[in-house]
Amino acid sequence: MTIETIKENDLVFLILDHRRRWLLQVKSGDQFHTHKGIIEYDDLIGKSFGSVIYSKPYEHQGHKFYVLKPLPSDYVVYMARKTQIIYPEDAGMILIYSGIGPGSVVIEAGAGSGALSCILGNFVRPNGRVFSYDIREKSIKRAKKNVEKAGLKDIVTVQYGDILNDTLNHVNVDSIVLDMPQPWEVIEKVKEYLKLSGVLVSFSPTIEQVKKTTFALRDNGFIEINTYELMKRSLQVKENATRPEVRMIGHTGYITFGRHVYDEDNPYREKKPEREEYIDISDMPVKGNL
């Protein structure tokens, strides 16, 4: 069995119970304070992921915490953020339906907290790149911090960029992910960055945005245009009372996909032969002489 030990500056996923859990960066000499006691970061260094640690002081607290290696989904839900996030189930669909994987080059417009940036970075490593842009300085600062914590600063670049008005120096990008209020306004411009057969993805919270985006994709020659909505329902599993959880997130957003192609008119099937207009009245009743 392979054991991976915790080092300084590593991210750890600390779990007390199903409600109280934290994504933390290990700093030598520092502490993490909870209402169930103190976790000394020095006590974590050298321990293995998947082990337990007890809060101090042991004689008054001594509560058991589980220490896990964070999954990409943990970055999304528990990292520092101020903006709406793309949930793990939506991020999973984006990855699968866009084909983003090791070696992919991706543009992300709307960095937000950097949550999706981190997920994309995890899947394009070691040779891929994610170029994430935002026009809000606070978002850029927060996203850079989260990307650095996740150990992805060599894979994910977060910078200022107005994707509508600025000219970005990108060509042959595999996928473009848009998380912005008016994605339909940038489609004509960003398609020039996208390689043929590449995928454009747009995440929008409202159906009005979806309609405008879909029409813009059609007008710009995209094909395979599809929109999806995902809903995840958790189950409460008990000995004699297993059922769906009462509460759930009823709506996250709509995800629209389109494929970039070089289209042309079909010279064979789309050209209709010219025929003389002819009306046959042989079987029609005729009154009088013609």
DSSP 149-175: HTT-TTTEEEEE--TTTS-----SEEE
Q: Enumerate the CATH 3.40.50.150 domain ranges in the chain, comma separated.
A: 73-259
pLDDT, tens digit (0-9, with 9 covering 90-100), for 160-188: 999 999 999 899 999 999 999 999 999 99
In the chain, CATH 3.10.330.20 covers 11-70
**What is the SS3 assignment for 208?**
helix
Please name which of 187, 168, 185 lies closest in space to residue 177, comparing C-alpha atoms.
187
pLDDT of 119 higher than 70? yes
pLDDT of residue 73 exceeding 80: no
pLDDT at 81 over 90: no
Rounded distance, CA 282 to CA 290, Å?
A: 12
- Give per-residue pLDDT as tens, 136-155: 999 999 999 889 888 899 99
Phi, psi of 284 (to 5 degrees): -95, 140
3-state secondary structure of 197: strand
CATH number of 11-70: 3.10.330.20
Mean pLDDT of all residues belonging to the chain: 89
pTM of the predicted model as reported, rounded to 2 decimal places: 0.77
Q: Residue 92 is encoded by which pair of tokens?
A: 């999973």
State the average pLDDT over residues 196-201.
Answer: 96
Specify whether domain 73-259 bears CATH 3.40.50.150: yes
Beta strands at 194-204 and 254-259: parallel, antiparallel or unpaired:
antiparallel
Q: CA angle 49-52-54, nearest 5°?
A: 140
Report pLDDT for 149.
85
User: What would the pLDDT profile of 5-30 be if each residue is shown by its tens digit?
Assistant: 999 888 899 999 888 899 888 988 99
Residue 212 has a pLDDT of 97
Q: Of 132, 158, 130, 131, whose CA–CA distance to 144 is shortest? A: 158
The total number of residues written for the chain in this structure:
290
